[in-house]
Structure 1
Amino acid sequence: MALAVGLGLPAGALVVGGGVLFGPWVGLVTVLSGEVLGLTLNWRLCRGVLRPRLQPWLERRRRGRRLRRLLQQPASLRLMVMVRLALLPMNLVNASCALSPTPLRTYALGSLALLPRFTLMVLAGALGGEVGRGGLSPLALTAWLLGLVATAAVLWTLGRGLRRVLLTDVEESAGRD
């Protein structure tokens, strides 16, 4: 998990697999540990290896120069939390923050907003594992499904609202420039 996240590879199946293999509690602790290590590794690789190589490449391209201007400002904690909750692609957010002057502390604190997403994915995996092993009664399965659907609906609604706020903030910032 840590290596996949650290190298920017898709790790959604590993998150769900953590729930299938280890159940909801141990799965969540395992996934969160892997994510923390992976996000730190990804940060270090982007800052130390990718950043020096990417900056000259961005300077040679018109769109790259625009992107570089955006990356010259650190992300605030509020922005970090919003982009994490808005369900934007994790690798894009990780790389953008590591390439910008965003402090590691802000990046780390903002990444705590990923907890609901990972919890939902681990719980879905744990439910699938229990169903596959035949360990759930119909009533327990119904309760699990209702809980998962309710959690997913709350996250989706929150993500859409935050995406609108984020887009409004970006449009207002562009209007001031």
Structure 2
Amino acid sequence: MVSSKTTSRIQRDIRFVPLAEIAADKIIAHMSDPRMALHMPLLEGSWDQAAYDRFMAIKVRYWQRDGLGHWAILCGGAYVGWGGFQKEGNDWDYGLVLRPEYFGLGMAITRKALAFARSDRRISHVTFLLPPTRTKLGALKRIGAIFVRQITHDGAVFLQYRLETA
């Protein structure tokens, strides 16, 4: 069990920065890791410069459209992954894609992101779309997220959970 003092220090070390601050080769290497595809049913094909360029163009469009989107996530100055809030219809969907060596930081990052969501008047609730391969859902339930339904998004099946933030 991680102490609250350790968790607090880790959360202080976590920073959300623009994705463009991370070198393309780091994100390409991250998304090319075969372990990423295990729980990302929409991740297809190899990640190269063209895939990175498409990814970044989409992320920039979300920021322009909604004033919010995905960030790069740093911990202690190191790039640990990307994630944040992306508008999907009337929902703000929270996503988190960590480099495998940083999977253990997921809840600390999520707590910090949810603190951001609770302080943002636009976000009355957050949804989480998880593939059925994600079977360890206790932490999600402990933070108060409730199962809503099974949905299909871009041809893949996901389990949708919802957390009220207001």
Q: TM-score, normalised by structure 1?
A: 0.28
Looking at both structures, which has the greater relative contact order when contacts are Cα pairs under 8 Å and sequence separation is at least 6?
1
Q: TM-score, normalised by structure 2?
A: 0.29
Which structure's residues are more often strand, by fraction?
2
